[in-house]
Each structure stands twice: as structure tokens, then as C-alpha cells.
Amino acid sequence: MQNPEVDIIDLSHDGRGVARIDGKTVFVAGALPGERVRLGRVQRHRNFDEASAEEILVRSPQRIEPRCAHFGTCSGCSLQHLSPEAQIAAKQHVLAENFERIGKVVPGRWLDPLGGEPWGYRRKGRLSVKWVAKKDKALVGFREVNPRFVADLARCHTLLPEVGERLADLGALVGALEARAEIAQIEIAAGDETVALTFRNLRPLSEGDRAALVAFGQRHGLAILLQPGGPDSVAPLWPDDVSLSFRIPASDIDIAFRPLDFIQVNAGMNQRMIARALELLDLARGDRVLDLFCGLGNFTLPIARVAGDVVGVEGEAALVARSRENAVRNGIANAQFHAADLAADQRGTAWAQAGYDKLLLDPPRSGAAAVLDYLPRKGTDRVVYVSCHPGSLARDAGTLVTQHGFRLVAAGVMDMFPHTAHVESIALFER
């Protein structure tokens, strides 16, 4: 059947519409639940098919006009055609479905979704760079939906404006360099006062190229760094000293970081997320808290302002060193930090054997399954779990409920990445 018409019955985890033809699932790019669409070319697979929406026959009332001219080509966003209110509702639906299907659990109550400014929010990111000789042009942007190609972007509305409005300028800058074919990517990192661009240069740059980068940074007020090798090779080009930090005003905390360090991408949402985590932990001055996957101390240091003691554990030793530096920077003496591979069994360590009243988990996408083999220990009656992947959260929620005797008291989503299908969430467990 050529160009079949289908009804869209759901939204997939990656933001595509879901339909069924003769019982087989079809993922439809550009389609929304409640719509009837005519499909473009269907790519057939054994267990599912893929297609795009060639024509919208019945339009969802939640469909809006995408702001970005590159929507549908660039892979950076997949939900700009869905209203912001409907986006966050769809993410809460994804979380609920994962809880029920994977974890076999249901929250006692749903937390109000946390939302914020949907544009210009992205303070951390990695731009791909590609010199295209046939076009005599350097492309700077995110990958296309077909990841073999870099999207030809003029601007990005989700990046902070200091960078998002200058993608064409960055392309022109790279295209004029002698080493234009050896610039692989540009890492964006923004503190409260400074926006830094780290250029990954695959060969040493000439004096002319270095001067061009410095002039660009000076003209636009951007710090410029070079990365000729691994992460430890990053060094400032202009100015001589690049200092990055962000404040958490509610806790009177200032966190310093380096350009390649992990920080939460959305500054405003990070503030609201920390506040919610502290509220759910319900801290008292005598509490002893364990913060696993603590990074730079994004949660650990605010917890230390309220609790008696807090122990942060992180797998990357460099981040642990900077966590300790940030504790000193903020005059915090009741926080300890340890470096440990949390994907391995750490039950024999002193920090894992200690007693804690409360536990905060903020793991990577893979979740905290290895940790839950030996934690939380007896005496820990409250767990707050911050998640960037609903599937691993749902799996771990099932473990906490069935193996550790907890109840899933509350859960909700936080729109850390508006216009994308990324689901950031938080859950409270008690026993």
C-alpha cells in the first residue's frame, strides 16, 4: 500500500508518533498523538517500521509552529511542534508508563511538574564542526537526524544567546582558519559571568589562526580555550585565566568548574531541582546524608548547609578534587568526598559501611543498580532519586520497593531539556 493513512495513538520515548499497521508498530517522525497522517516512505524492519508524516490530515490541537527553521533536520530538538505544556505532560506519561511496565510500581502521588524558560536555556553543549570542501564552508552545529551529517545551522534557539545566535559567525570563523579541516568540535560551557568555547584542534594552530580565535573571543566577549589532546590538555588561549562558576543563591553556594566538567545544562532548572530535592529529603540538623554520584557537589554542598554531615561519592577523581575545593571555597566543613567506581561493589569501604539517615542518588543514564545491591543500609529511611533516564529509575524503583522495603511516595518530572524527548525526573522513597 502506497502512502498509507494512519492514526497516531501515542508518543515514543524519542518524540515520534506511534501508529500501527496490521498490528505492527510504526514510528512516525513529525506526528503527534490524536493526529491522522499520510505517511511518507516506510522503512521496514523485522519488529517495527519507521516513516515520516508526509501530510497532516487531522491536526492535534496541541500542535504549534516550530520556532526553529532547522526543525526536522537537526537532531537537537524533536518536540518543537508540541506545545510546552503538552511536552511536559508527555514526559510525565513516559515516566508513569515506565514505572508500571518496568518497575511494577505506582507513585503514591504525582509531584507538580517543574518547568521553566523554554528558550536560550542551554549553558553546556558540544557542537560538531565539519569543513565541507564542496560547499567551501565550515558547518557548526548539532548532528542531523541522519547522524552522518552536521546540520547547516544559522542559529540555535535552545542554546544561550551568546552562542546560539552566533553559529553562522562561528562557521565563518572556522572556515577562515588554516586548520579549518582539523577543528573537530567546540565545547560550550557557561558560568554566571563567563561563556567559554573550547576548540578541539587536531593539529597545532598557526599564529594566524590563534590570533583569529583571540579576536573572535574579544569581539564577542567569549573566553577561548584549545584542546589539542585529551581532557587534561585544555588550556586558555584568551584570556590567560578563565574562571567559570555558578551560584546557588538559596543555599549561598558558589561552585567553580572547568570547561569540560559535567554541570546541569539548564541553570534555572538546576536551581528548582536542588530546591525540590532538599524539600523531599526533609533535612534536620542532626541528619547524616549520603550523596552518590555527587559530581562537583551540586547537591552535596546545599545539603551541607542544612544537615549535620554529608558524604559525597563520585567516580571521577578530578571532580572529587574540585568538590573538596568547592567545599573550602564556600566555608563548608561538614562535607566529605570520596572517589569510587560506583558501578563496582563498594560495600567493603568505610563510607559504605557507615550509617546514614538519608540517601540521595543522582546516577548516569545506566542508573544505580550496582549500588542497590548493598545500599541503602538499615537506618536509612528516606531516599531521593534524581534521574536522567525513566527506564533505569523505574527498574531501580522496583528494587527499592521489593528488596529494600521502601514505598514510592512521590515522583514527578522536571523539564531540564525543553523541546527534546529527554526525561529528567525525581522520586521520593520512604520506609
Grid cell, residue 375, equals 545500599
**Residue 294 annotated in active site:** no
3-state SS assignment for residue 358: strand
Hey, which residues does 125 pair with through a beta bridge? 188
Alpha carbon dihedral 389, 394, 302, 242, in 10-degree steps, equals: -10
Instruction: For the chain, state the CA radius of gyration.
Output: 23
Determine if residue 252 is left, alpha or beta; phi over 0 gives left, psi from -120 to 50 gives alpha, anything else beta. left
Q: Residue 187 in contact with residue 126, Cβ under 8 Å?
A: yes
Three-point CA angle 150, 154, 158, nearest 5°:
85
Out of 68, 74, 156, 388, pick the active-site residue. 388
What is the Cα–Cα distance from 143 to 261, expressed in whole angstroms?
22
Contact residues for 352 (Cβ-Cβ < 8 A; gap 6+): 346, 374, 375, 377
Q: Residue 369 in contact with residue 397, Cβ under 8 Å?
A: no
For 206-259, the DSSP string reads PHHHHHHHHHHHHHHT-EEEEESSSGGG-EEEESSS--EEEEEGGGTEEEEE-T
Q: Residue 271 in contact with residue 121, Cβ under 8 Å?
A: no
322-329 LR contacts (CB < 8 Å, sep 24+): 322/256, 322/257, 322/258, 322/261, 322/296, 323/294, 323/295, 323/296, 323/297, 325/256, 326/253, 326/254, 326/255, 326/256, 326/296, 326/297, 326/301, 327/297, 327/301, 329/254, 329/256
Q: Residue 167 in contact with residue 139, Cβ under 8 Å?
A: no
Q: Which residue has the cell 529509575?
A: 393
Catalytic machinery residues:
388
